[in-house]
Every structure is written in structure tokens, then in C-alpha cells.
Amino acid sequence: MTSNANYQQLARTFLRLSRFSHLSAIASWDMFAMMPPGGSAARGEALAELSVLHHQILTDKQVGQWLKAAQQEDLNDIERANLREMTRHYQEASLLPSSLVESMSLAGSKCEHAWRTQRPNNDWAGFSANLKEVVALSRQEARLRAEAKGCSPYDALLDKYEPDMTSARLDVLFGDIKTWLPDLLRQAVEKQAQHPLLPPQGPFPIALQRELGLETMQALGFDFNGGRLDVSAHPFCGGVPEDVRITTRYDENELLSALFGVVHETGHARYEQNLPRTWPGQPIAQARSTAIHESQSLFFEMQLGRSEAFLRRLQPAIIARFGMQPAFEESNFIAWNQRVKPGFIRVDADEVSYPAHVILRYEIERALIDGEIEVEDIPTLWNEKMQAWLGLSTEGNYRDGCMQDIHWTDGGFGYFPSYTLGAMYAAQLFNAARNALPGLDTAIAAGDFSALFEWLRQNIWQHGSRFTTEQLITNATGEALNADYFRQHLTRRYL
């Protein structure tokens, strides 16, 4: 028997589990992007079956015995880190019975599929009926996790997405944002109002928008041999590192929404495509956390994509596709892409008002999971918070209010804070990259992103889950999460 026989058994088991996850990811992508409506129920059942099988293999008593025995084996640093992640996955899964896993998968598929037609029809009554089922199951999950971890139900779900993060820590981080963001937002809007802008005049044919998106993905280093671009009702990045699927949604009258959706998802995709392949199928080779994942998409979309240097590079490609018009004159084009305009839709929000969308959802979902409010209370609360933050009313407008996202349809409670944490990490990472790479803006304006992406590969991408989030960020930037970089970035760019 080898000196690390138990660890080797675990490595084989997790490789097998990763293959099931691969199939599940591609079947889910197909459900969102390609599947005819009539396939919904059967696909939901097939995915639920797969999730139960995955759960049963992962929570087998034998896996628990191997994990315990492997702690005593002679393992190197990489294997120890992998064992830490294996143990985390096992413990997370073991808290739930298979029956609940199956019910959650079925309810999520049903709710998401119905949302596709309910949202355009502004059908809150129909949507809320399905959402109530999802919330009831999510509360069951949260209660089981909270009892085992000795924390609040919401914190137990938050830990799934952002290990070691708590709502107490979020309240401090988000409480700080609340002290300065409303004023910065007001100042930015007032400043920009002094210089009226020309909006781009459509229509912008979808075929040409797609061409532009593909060209931009190529410039940003997306590997088309291991991924593709498609259309879905809500933009996302899915699949597996060897086969990354990203989606966007097009509007003939709106040029830049789809394009920056593509840039955002390409950030996710580049992270996935550059995760370590030396530990195939192992938890250590997976993305560190959802906030680190969002830091990569927001690094691409906001830090890089909305920078003056990148926009100067993008402008000729847009003129080549859609012809010259006054809105595409350089200074107007840059200002238009950096405009601050509070709106209803989170995925289209500028980076100054974006945290408002996230904090609003965080406060609602935490109260919902902790049992302080019910599904019926969501629209009123949503409207109150939108009015307070952004001065916009969503009364009776559910499609642009509490029905705009899909994260709650599949029980993704605890995910939303990742977006603003990701924006904070992105600002801190870009600051560190700029310090490490003199002449970065000149290189970006010339369309040369190689040094920037190599810096990301060295500092973030290649490590997967080898380090905790705090270790990863400290190694990359010299300090733990520091929200000051986010504030400095917004002040510098918009004031």
C-alpha cells in the first residue's frame, strides 16, 4: 500500500465527480441557450438526477473515512491544499440529504424556465408562486447548514460562495460604501450634466454586433478552440475550463450593452481557461470563490474595458462596423462609455451606481433567508430601496425590478455580495498591476494586453484554489482586501 493511498482514492473520486459536473454544466448551458421550450421538464429532471448522483458519491461514508485517513499521510503542500478543499466540498455536501438536493434542482429549473416568459409579461403573480417554492427549500438548506456551522441561516449560504465571509463583515464594508457612494454618485451626475452627450443612433444590426463581440473576445485573448459565444435571456459564463461557454443578449437599438456584456463574460472565461491543468478534476484546480471570479469579469469590463486607453482602441473597430456618426467622435465616445446614469437594470449599470443594485439585493435576500420578510414583501422593499439609492420607482414594474435577474430562481441566495466584493478586489488588483507594469496605459491603447494578462496569470489564474481568498489577494497585492482602492478608482475616473 502506498504512503498516500487514501489521498489517491480521493483524487480518483473527485476526478470522477468533475466529469459529472462537466456534463451538468454543458446540459445547463444548452438549457439556457439552445434548448426548445418543450424540453424544459425533462431536462430539469435529468439535471436533478445528475445532481443527486453527484451528491451520493461525494457524501459516501467511504469518502469521509479516506479524508480522515489522508490527514495522517505524507502529502506535499499542493496535496494538502487539495485535501483542504476536498474536505470543504465533502462537509458542505454532507449537511444536505439527497432528497433536498433533488427538490432544489427541480424547483430551480422550473422557476428559471417559467421566468423567461413571466419576465417579459411582467407576471409577478406567476413568478412569485414558483419563487416561494425555491425560497422554502433554500431556507431548509440554510437552516441545516446554520445548525452545523453555528451561524445565521444567511451566513451559512454566504459561506458556500465566499468562504470565510460573514454578513457582519459585509455590513462593515457595505456600511462604509453607504457613507460616501451616494454623494459621489450625485457629484458625478452633476458634473456630467454640464457636458451633454450625443447618444449613438441605431439601429445596429445584430450580425454586426456579434462580429464586433467576437473580434473583441479575440483581442482579449479568449481561446476559441476551448469555448464559444451564444445568446441567452440573461448573460452568463458556464461550461468547464476546457470548454467555456459565454452568452450575451442583443438589442438592435443599443450597441454597447451586448458588447460590454461580452467583455464582462470574457473576463470570467479567461480565468476559467487559465485555471491550472496540472491537477485535472481536483478541487484545487477550481476558481477560488465567486468574488474572485467577479473580480476577473469586472477587471475586464470596468477597470480595463471602460478605461480611456481601451475605449480609444475600441472606437475605430466600432466605426469600421457601423460607420462614423457624431456620437462616435473620440471624446464623446469615451464620455458616453463612462457616463453615470442610475438605471433599473443591474447588468447595464455604470460602476458608480452598480454597488447600489448589489447592496439592495443583499439586504433583501438576507432578510428573506433569515425569515424576517416573505416573498410577497419583495416588490415593496425593492421599490423603497431603489427610490432611496437611485431615485427610481419600480412600483408595478416587476420586469425591471425584482424579476430582472436569474440568481434567485435557482436558489442562488448569498451570491449577490460577490459582485461588489469583486469590484473591490478588481480595483485593488488593477492598482497592483499598474504599479508592477510601467507604461501599462500606453500598452493598452496600442492593443497590447500581454503583460497585463501575464500578470493576472501569475498572480491569480494559475493558483486556482491553492490559497484562501485572503492569501491569494495578499500575495498578489501585498495586503488583504482594502476597499479604499475602489473608492480611489471611482473618484479618479468620475470626479
Please state, in angstroms and rounded to a whole number, the distance separating the CA atoms of residues 495 and 493: 6
Beta-sheet pairing, 243-248 with 227-231:
parallel
List of residues 6+ apart from 207 with CB closer than 8 A: none
The pLDDT tens digits for 297-322 are 999 999 999 999 999 999 999 999 99
**Catalytic site includes residue 265:** yes
Residues 216 and 297 in one domain: yes
- Residue 348: which pLDDT band, with cuts at 50, 70 and 90? confident
pTM (global) more than 0.85: yes
Question: Strands 237-240 and 243-248, how do they pair?
Answer: antiparallel
What range defines the domain where residue 248 resides?
152-495
pLDDT of residue 347: 87
DSSP summary character for residue 277: S
Q: What is the pLDDT of residue 249?
A: 94
Asked if residue 94 and residue 167 are part of one domain, the reply reads no
Position with higher pLDDT, 3 vs 112: 112
- Which tens digit of pLDDT belongs to each residue from 148-204? 999 999 999 999 999 999 999 999 999 999 999 999 999 999 999 999 999 999 999
**What's the distance, Cα to Cα, between the start and end of the chain in Å?**
66
Question: Is the torsion defined by CA of 30, 31, 37, 40 positive or negative?
Answer: positive
Q: How many CA atoms lie within 13 A of 37 on its CB side?
A: 6
Q: Are residues 186 and 145 in the same domain?
A: no
240 and 145 share one domain: no
Residue of 162, 265, 301, 365 marked active site = 265
Residue 422, domain CATH: 1.10.1370.30
Residue 387 pLDDT greater than 80, yes or no:
yes
Same domain, 319 and 455: yes
pLDDT at residue 1 above 70?
no
pLDDT band at residue 45 using 50, 70 and 90 as cut-offs: very high
Mean pLDDT value of segment 318-335: 97
pLDDT at 197: 95
Q: Residue 3: pLDDT band by 50, 70, 90 thresholds?
A: confident
Please check the confidence at residue 2 and state whether its pLDDT lies above 80.
Answer: no
Q: Which of 134, 151, 168 is the last residue of a domain?
A: 151
Q: For residue 229, what are the contacts with CB-CB under 8 A and spacing of at least 6?
A: 210, 213, 214, 217, 246, 247, 248, 262
pLDDT in tens, 104-119: 999 999 999 999 999 9
Asked which of 95, 120, 151 is the last residue of a domain, the reply is: 151
pLDDT band at residue 368 under the 50/70/90 scheme: very high
Question: Which of 123, 151, 179 is a domain's end point?
Answer: 151
**219 and 94 part of one domain:** no
Q: For residues 79 and 219, state if they share a domain.
A: no
pLDDT score at 286: 98
Q: Quick one: 145 and 217 in the same domain?
A: no
Assess whether 364 and 345 both reside in one domain: yes
Helices (H) and strands (E) in the chain, counts: 20, 3
Same domain, 131 and 171: no
Do 446 and 415 belong to one domain?
Answer: yes
pLDDT of residue 107: 96
CA–CA distance, 412 with 115 (Å, rounded to integer) = 15
Structural contact between residues 83 and 75, judged by C-beta atoms closer than 8 angstroms: yes
Question: What is the arithmetic mean of pLDDT over 246-251?
Answer: 96
User: What pLDDT, on a 0 to 100 scale, did the predictor assign at position 235?
Assistant: 92
Q: What is the pLDDT of residue 233?
A: 87
Report the percent of the chain where pLDDT is more than 70. 100
Residues 147 and 256 in one domain: no
% the chain with pLDDT above 90: 98
